[in-house]
Amino acid sequence: MEFLSDEKVILRDFIESDIQTRVRWETEETEWQAWDAPWEFAALSGKEREAALAEYIEKMRGWAEKFSKMPEEEEKRTGFQIVEKTSGEYIGWCNSYRIDEDCNISKEGGRCAVGIDLPSMRARGKGYAFSALRLFIRYLLGCGETEIYTQTWSGNVRMIGLAEKLGFEEYRRKKDYRTVSGKKYDGLTFRLNLEKFRALG
């Protein structure tokens, strides 16, 4: 079901046909994993990856079933799938989660953080991530969120640039918080400057 759109992208619920694409991104087109929490992927053995993938597929089937039965107005969404508007191609997703006052992920956290993934290499550098996150943030603010955060690591320069373009400002830096390919990087949390964001139009 389509929720939001602009001239570039459509944000919609997860559907069953997305599973095949997600599996391909997890097993074949995996470049995006080098940017989205690469420390998590590096820690898994081959057998652990297989088990995690099987569990993930079952979880996705549950998502598809849930959203197929959920009316648009019934429940606030915590994330959306991103579709290129012109071609209708599924290119990624955006999501939200809770963090606590120390910027740690916590289901009971009082703060809303957002993230985005565009595994499709063809979709990079065309403004889709900016459009999708802008739509998603507007949606969350419309649902009553008053503060929006995003998190990344200091080696992910593309995400840092996207955050700043949307009006996020650095809020918290945890020195040498992540290790990627044997090198230490800072953990970064940004907070949205609502005045800058709203000036985007």
Q: Is 188 helix (H, G, I), strand (E, B) or coil?
A: strand
Q: What is the maximum span of the chain, computed from C-alpha positions, in angstroms?
A: 49
The per-residue pLDDT for 120 is 87
End-to-end CA, the chain: 25
The per-residue pLDDT for 185 is 96
The per-residue pLDDT for 48 is 85
- List of residues 6+ apart from 177 with CB closer than 8 A: 153, 185, 186, 187
- In residues, how long is the chain? 201
**What's the distance, CA 84 to chain centroid?**
16
**Alpha carbons 175 and 28: distance in angstroms, whole number:** 33
CA angle centred on 152, ends 149 and 158, rounded to 5°: 105
pTM beyond 0.85, yes or no? yes
Count other Cβ atoms within 10 Å, centred on residue 128. Answer: 21
Retrieve residue 26's tokens: 């997890």
As averages over each run of 10 residues, the pLDDT of the chain (201 residues) reads 88 96 92 84 76 92 91 83 96 98 96 96 94 98 96 96 98 95 95 97 80
Q: Which amino acid is at 177?
A: Y
User: 190: which strand partners?
Assistant: 150, 170
